[in-house]
């Protein structure tokens, strides 16, 4: 090879090498650049997606907020309706009682108040008994068949403390108690026998679940009232409701006010209270209820006995 051609060959090699290096540099630069551009584009589209999802989420949250608000409003309206209904029933029975009482010429001038506790025994029975003892007051417990282990003692305690015990059905399930006359008799017999066995006395008073004027019974209430009366048992409703049966616990002040507000309209006042595990505010209200009654002139708090004037929403034949 001549010097000339050797030089040319070297020149070409250098040139090729240069091209390769430049090409390599271009590739090295453009690869990350391209992937960066791709990433930026991708990020942008993801951002759009995210914005869309956020917008959808916000819209759904708003719908849920609106639904919740509507639900709360409807709930409040239902609660209000229920309270109004209770108030109306209480007022109605108040009017009826006042009506009958104004005809009573034999009234001896003593107002008789009967505190009645439904649905027990419960975890609060012991506390209720303690408070009643503190004020030396006797009350009436319309109990159901509570099978918890500690409860047989509580039925006995009610009687041992000198209070009256009455029946309030065994199951307290409207669908069972009021299904038909046979199932009512079955339930009635069960609570009567259970109490006879547990406390050693057969009770002679009964309170219908929901009262004798309840509108949920699938059986004619007149028929059931007649059955109970024929059994030699007297049923008692109430003319003053503490309002403590509402789903949300009322404040002790409210319960006390409900019990005392219309008390002076009555010669015979039967106050409806509840002894259940969800009614602690009733226990808290009890001392001020008792104090409020004790402060009234010519007023006595008594347990329901066979001599008590029956307060009934639906009058039994015996009373008519």
Cα atoms in the Cβ-side hemisphere of radius 13 Å centred on 299: 22
Q: Does 237 bind Zn ion (CB under 5 A)?
A: no
- Cα–Cα distance between 47 and 49 in angstroms, integer? 5
Cβ 120 to Zn ion shortest distance, Å: 10
Residue closer to Zn ion (CB basis): 143 or 269: 143
The footprint of Zn ion on this chain (CB under 5 A) covers a number of residues equal to 3
What tokens were used for 297? 């002139």
Binding-site string for Zn ion from residue 206 to residue 225, where x marks contact by CB under 5 A and - marks none: ---x----------------
Which residue's Cβ lies closest to Zn ion?
118
- H or E segment at 142? strand 140-143
Cβ 125 to Zn ion shortest distance, Å: 15
- Cα–Cα distance between 166 and 205 in angstroms, integer? 5
- Cα–Cα distance between 145 and 133 in angstroms, integer? 24
Residue closer to Zn ion (CB basis): 286 or 292: 286
Contacts of 94 (CB under 8 A, 6+ apart): 239, 240, 262, 265, 266
Residue closer to Zn ion (CB basis): 118 or 244: 118
Cβ 96 to Zn ion shortest distance, Å: 21
Residue closer to Zn ion (CB basis): 113 or 245: 245
Cβ 174 to Zn ion shortest distance, Å: 10
Residue closer to Zn ion (CB basis): 209 or 243: 209
Cβ 171 to Zn ion shortest distance, Å: 11
Cβ 277 to Zn ion shortest distance, Å: 13
- Cα–Cα distance between 245 and 242 in angstroms, integer? 8
Contacts (CB under 5 A) with Zn ion, residues 105-144: 118-119
- Cα–Cα distance between 194 and 196 in angstroms, integer? 6
Residue closer to Zn ion (CB basis): 144 or 268: 144
User: Could you tell me if 114 and 269 are in contact, meaning their C-beta atoms sit under 8 angstroms apart?
Assistant: yes
- Cα–Cα distance between 238 and 262 in angstroms, integer? 13
Q: Which residues bind to Zn ion, rule: CB under 5 A? A: 118-119, 209
């Amino acid at each position: 090879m001549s010097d000339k051609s050797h030089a040319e060959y070297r020149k070409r090699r250098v040139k090729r090498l240069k091209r390769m290096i430049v090409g390599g540099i271009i590739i090295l630069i453009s690869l990350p650049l391209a992937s960066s551009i791709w990433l930026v584009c991708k990020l942008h589209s993801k951002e759009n997606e995210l914005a869309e999802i956020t917008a959808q989420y916000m819209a759904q949250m708003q719908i849920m907020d609106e639904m919740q608000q509507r639900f709360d409003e409807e709930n409040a309206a239902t609660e209000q309706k229920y309270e109004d209904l209770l108030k109306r029933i209480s007022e109605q029975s108040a009017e009826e009682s006042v009506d009958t009482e104004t005809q009573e010429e034999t009234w001896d001038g003593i107002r008789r108040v009967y505190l009645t506790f439904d649905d027990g025994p419960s975890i609060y029975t012991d506390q209720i008994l303690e408070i009643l003892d503190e004020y030396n007051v006797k009350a009436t417990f319309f109990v159901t068949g509570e099978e918890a282990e500690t409860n047989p003692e509580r039925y006995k305690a009610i009687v041992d403390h000198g209070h009256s015990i009455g029946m309030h059905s065994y199951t307290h399930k409207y669908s069972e108690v009021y299904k038909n006359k046979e199932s009512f008799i079955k339930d009635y017999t069960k609570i009567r026998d259970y109490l006879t066995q547990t406390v050693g006395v057969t009770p002679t008073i009964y309170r219908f679940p929901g009262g004798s004027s309840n509108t949920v019974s699938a059986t004619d209430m007149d028929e059931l009232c007649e059955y109970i009366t024929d059994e030699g048992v007297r049923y008692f409703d109430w003319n003053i409701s503490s309002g403590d049966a509402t789903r949300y616990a009322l404040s002790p002040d409210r319960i006390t006010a409900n019990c005392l507000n219309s008390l002076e309209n009555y010669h015979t006042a039967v106050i409806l209270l509840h002894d259940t595990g969800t009614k602690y505010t009733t226990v808290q209200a009890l001392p001020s209820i008792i104090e409020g009654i004790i402060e009234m002139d010519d007023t006595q708090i008594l347990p329901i006995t066979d001599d008590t004037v029956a307060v009934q929403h639906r009058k039994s034949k015996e009373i008519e």
